Amino acid sequence: MTVLEAKNLSYEYSVGTPFQVTAIKNINLTVEKGEMLAIIGHTGSGKSTLIQHFNALFQPTEGQIFLNGKDINESKESAHAARFKVGLCFQYPEYQLFESTVYKDIAFGPSNMGLSDAEIDARVRRAAAFTGIRDDMLEKSPFDLSGGEKRRVAIAGVMAMEPEVLIMDEPAAGLDPRGRKTILELIKNYRETTGSTVIIVSHSMEDVASVADRIVVLNKGTVALSGSVDEVFSHADELVEMGLNIPQITKIFAELKKSGYDLNTSVYTSEQAKNEILRYLQKGGNA
């Protein structure tokens, strides 16, 4: 079942000025209920512009956004409702923390939803658990936490709104490999536990390969590729041309294929690489 849909969506910044830019052009895509969709693309490809349409922060220059089949920009009420149904976590969300305690920061979103104090408290605690924020951290100032912890608090704030669709813009950006892994795992865990629809935006194929069900690749404001992780990875050369980093192992398989080895090139983990080499050798390929 489709939960979100972009139909012929275009957006231009600074219309009618010398700085007019077409950021996205004629985008069509659907998001299915319960899936983890990755939107990837090089810097400037239009990812952030696109996702800010999904909760009505941006109004399309052309086209429409449908949430559960209804145009979200149909009325003020539907646009307002979309803000809560579609939770958007911006890039570097830790810069938006401002409350005196971690608890209050996580509670900020749900406090604006007209919920009871008990319900807000339950949501804060659930979101804290998802993001690995321990109870003793809730009464601390967010400014006393490490960078990775602040990021998790900010993510918890959006999760606490319990949106139907959670969108994360570059959730792992700027973190070290361990921090990146932690964030990606908690998103995966949140999605598996709640069954929510999740959209993860990234410029890193490597980051999304392990968590996404499906990938949409943006290039210069349009959809260049879309499909399962395997399908998209089988276009390694095109991905590199679009300025995307592909895992080292995928590069090696693409080169081997070019040199005449009949290998499946949609390989992005060492386990897959091992299996593909064994398969190749077993069917009598050249070692």
Ligand X SMILES: Nc1ncnc2c1ncn2[C@@H]1O[C@H](COP(=O)(O)OP(=O)(O)O)[C@@H](O)[C@H]1O
Minimum CB distance to Mg ion smaller for 66 or for 92: 92
Minimum CB distance to ligand X smaller for 124 or for 167: 167
Q: Considering only 33-41, 48-56, 104-112, 212-220, which stretch makes contact with Mg ion by CB under 5 A?
A: 48-56
Q: Which does residue 63 bind out of Mg ion, ligand X, none, counting CB within 5 to 8 angstroms by kind?
A: none
Between CA 56 and CA 77 the distance in angstroms is: 11
The answer to whether 236 and 265 are in contact (CB under 8 A) is yes
Residue 29 carries which side chain, given as an amino acid letter? Answer: L
Residue ranges that bind ligand X, judged by CB under 6 A: 13-14, 21, 23, 41, 43-49
Tell me the closest approach of the beta carbon of residue 114 to ligand X, in angstroms: 32
Minimum CB distance to Mg ion smaller for 22 or for 269: 22
Between CA 188 and CA 131 the distance in angstroms is: 11
Neighbouring-strand partners of residue 9: 27
Tell me the closest approach of the beta carbon of residue 21 to ligand X, in angstroms: 5
Nearest alpha carbon to residue 124 among 149, 105, 143: 105
Tell me the closest approach of the beta carbon of residue 158 to Mg ion, in angstroms: 16
Size of the site for Mg ion (CB under 5 A): 2
Please classify residue 257 by burial: count the beta carbons closer than 10 Å to its beta carbon, then call 0-12 exposed, 13-18 middle and 19+ buried: middle
Minimum CB distance to Mg ion smaller for 9 or for 127: 9
Strands 165-169 and 214-219: unpaired
Q: Which does residue 278 bind out of Mg ion, ligand X, none, counting CB within 5 to 8 angstroms by kind?
A: none
| 45 counts as binding Mg ion under rule CB under 5 A | no
Residue 17 carries which side chain, given as an amino acid letter? Answer: T
Tell me the closest approach of the beta carbon of residue 25 to ligand X, in angstroms: 10
Minimum CB distance to Mg ion smaller for 48 or for 196: 48
Cα dihedral sign, 127-131-135-136: negative
Q: Which does residue 49 bind out of Mg ion, ligand X, none, counting CB within 5 to 8 angstroms by kind?
A: ligand X
Residue nearest to Mg ion (CB): 48
Tell me the closest approach of the beta carbon of residue 44 to ligand X, in angstroms: 4
Minimum CB distance to ligand X smaller for 25 or for 152: 25
Neighbouring-strand partners of residue 215: 38, 227
The answer to whether 229 and 68 are in contact (CB under 8 A) is no
CA distances from 107 to 37, 92, 159, 205 (A): 27, 19, 10, 33
Nearest alpha carbon to residue 210 among 184, 242, 180: 184
- SS3 state at 75: coil
The only residue of 4, 5, 39, 48 in contact with Mg ion, by rule CB under 5 A: 48
Q: Which does residue 41 bind out of Mg ion, ligand X, none, counting CB within 5 to 8 angstroms by kind?
A: ligand X
Tell me the closest approach of the beta carbon of residue 80 to ligand X, in angstroms: 23
